[in-house]
Copies of this chain bind each other. A is one copy, B any other.
C-alpha cells in the first residue's frame, strides 16, 4: 500500500495526451476500450467511486483527461489553484522548496489519489510526474457545484483528506524522530510488496527518496547497503527491490530495535 500526500494541483505546463484541450469530456470521444468512466481502470479507486454508474456522466462532463509526460509538472507552487486532479495511472512527487534550493517531498501520488485537496487560492506545493501520468482534471469551481448535487463526492474527499492527514502524521514522526536506517526501512515497507519474490520496481530514484526522507542521497545509498548486507532486502537491478526479511525490516521501521 503505497504512500502519498500532496495538496494542490494546477495551472500547468504539460503535454496533453488525449487531444481534447479545453473540450469537455464526451463518452464517444474517449480513448481505450471502456470509452467512458464506468470502464476506466481507476473507476473504483478514484473520485468516480463515490457515484453509482447512472450518475457518472455528470461527473464525466466536468472531467478532462490528460497525460502528463515523465518529468513534466502537474502544478507549480504559488500558481492559482484552478484545477483539481485525480490520478488514474503513474506516479508523481509532491514537494515544497526553500529559497536556497533545499527540497522536501511531502508525498508520492499514484492511481486513485487526489491532488488539490484542501487547497486555498494558490497551490501550496509543486507536483512533478516521475513517469507518464494519466489523470482526470476538474475545474475546481465546477467540481464544487457538483458537491451540491452529489454530497457523496464531498464525503469521499473528506475521507481521502483524512487519510492524507494520517499519513502526514506518520511522516512527521519519521522526519522528526527516526534515524536514517529507520526512515529507509519505513519507506521500503510502504512501497514494496512484502510477499512478491520477483521484486518491486520503485518509480523514484535515490535523490527523490532522500528528499522524501529528509536525508542526503549519500546517506540513503549507505543505508541501502546496510539493509542489503544484513539480508533484510535484496537489490536486483538498482531500483528493483525485494524484501527478504519483512519482520526484521518492520522491527527497524517502528524503532523497536535499538
Q: Which residues of A contact B (CB under 8 A)?
A: 5, 7, 96, 98-100, 102-104, 106, 117-120, 124-125, 147-148, 151, 154-155, 157-159, 161-166, 168-173, 175-178, 211, 213-214, 254-256, 258
Nearest chain-B residue to A151 (Cβ)? B151
Q: Is there contact, CB below 8 Å, between A254 and B162?
A: no
CA distance A214 to B148 in the complex (A): 42
Interface centre among A147, A161, A163 (most CB of B within 10 A): A161
CA distance A254 to B101 in the complex (A): 11
CA distance A188 to B215 in the complex (A): 25
Interface centre among A100, A118, A255 (most CB of B within 10 A): A118
Q: Which residues of B contact A258 (CB under 8 A)?
A: 100
> Could you list some 15 contacts between A and B, CB below 8 A?
A5-B172, A98-B254, A98-B255, A102-B255, A104-B176, A104-B177, A106-B172, A117-B165, A151-B151, A161-B162, A161-B165, A168-B168, A168-B169, A171-B172, A177-B214
Other than the given A99-B254, A118-B159, A118-B165, 4 more pairs (CB < 8 A) read: A96-B172, A99-B255, A118-B162, A120-B166
